[in-house]
Amino acid sequence: MVLDLLFRQHQDKVLSVPVEKIRPNPSQPRVVFDQTQLECLAQSIRESGILQPLALRKLKDGTFQLVAGERRLRAAKLLGMTEVPAIVVSADDRQAAILSLLENIQREDLDFFEEAEGLSKLAELWSFTQEETALKLGMAQSTLANKLRLLKLTKEEREQIRNAGLTERHARALLRLDSFEDRQQALKRIIRNKLNVSETDKLIDRIINEKQKPKRHTTGVLKDVRIFVNTLNKAVKTLESMGINVKTLSNENDDFLEYIVRIPKDVLPSEKLASYK
């Protein structure tokens, strides 16, 4: 790893640096720190000390900016340590950011969103294309592209996915839905029903297929129905003009229109009834 080489080169230059003089690195890609893991690391440090020094760079005001070792620094603070072992590297803002990002990505313990954000920042700092960034990292361009696509999800969606403990494949499945509203609908069902990746893919397929179904054109149908109802109404008025007590009942819901006409049988001669059949 990049910083491992620096540590070997500076083994004889390890300093004891006051914790209060160490400033965080603004390019730190990690945003989630597991408290249980930090406590385990703190216990290890209590028993064996900090085995690998932190990497720092000196700032103009005499303080130090952290390049690598965020978890070790946090664990040391949990123990109440006032000083930590460190090496000081020569690096400007851009170089320090690149070193920090590379070290975190290469340690492979970032979550997939943190990794994607780190890779995106690296490409930006290097001013590289995706192809150039992938080549420099020894990564397939398709792999890099898939990871960077995760950043198309909003911060709100990423937080929901992270909090629910969903996987990168869950996140990539959600990207098949174009609208935020559709993704929210799917995400709520995935979390509520604890869907695995295969079940999530099937859910996304159903949502996409439903979206692609042609919409029913009901305008012409409704016009025909109105004509039919008007015809019935005219027939009823004709009967009423003949002195026949006709009763009608109509009922409409989402699925059908019901129209009932009741004509007393005893008011019409049999020959008239036959003419209406």
> Does any domain span residue 165?
yes
Residues 84 and 175 reside in one and the same domain: no
Backbone angle region of 216, left / alpha / beta, with phi > 0 → left and psi within -120 to 50 → alpha: beta
Domain ranges, residue 70: 2-110
Residues 22 and 90 reside in one and the same domain: yes
Write the pLDDT tens digit of every residue in 86-119: 988 888 888 888 887 887 777 656 789 988 998 9
Helix (H, G, I), strand (E, B) or coil at 77: helix
Tell me: pLDDT of 122 over 70. Answer: yes
Residues 18 and 94 reside in one and the same domain: yes
Please compute the mean of the pLDDT values over residues 26-38 and round it to a whole number. Answer: 77
Cα dist. 212→26, 46, 90, 180, 203 in Å? 44, 60, 57, 17, 14
- The single residue of 20, 39, 47, 70 carrying the catalytic annotation is 70
> Does any domain span residue 168?
yes
Residues 224 and 208 reside in one and the same domain: no
* Structural domain count, the chain: 3
**Which of 110, 145, 167 is at the close of a domain?**
110
> Does any domain span residue 139?
no
Residues 13 and 99 reside in one and the same domain: yes
Residues 191 and 244 reside in one and the same domain: no
CB 15 within 8 A of CB 85: yes
Please compute the mean of the pLDDT values over residues 169-196 and round it to a whole number. Answer: 95
Residues 84 and 16 reside in one and the same domain: yes
Write the pLDDT tens digit of every residue in 240-264: 787 788 788 777 666 677 778 888 7
Tell me: pLDDT of 132 over 70. Answer: yes
> Does any domain span residue 19?
yes
User: Is 20 an annotated catalytic residue?
Assistant: no
Residues 228 and 200 reside in one and the same domain: no
> Does any domain span residue 89?
yes
Overall pTM > 0.75: no
CATH number (domain holding residue 16): 3.90.1530.10
Write the pLDDT tens digit of every residue in 41-96: 899 999 989 888 898 989 989 999 998 888 899 999 999 999 999 988 888 888 88
The phi, psi pair for 193, rounded to 5°, reads: -95, 0
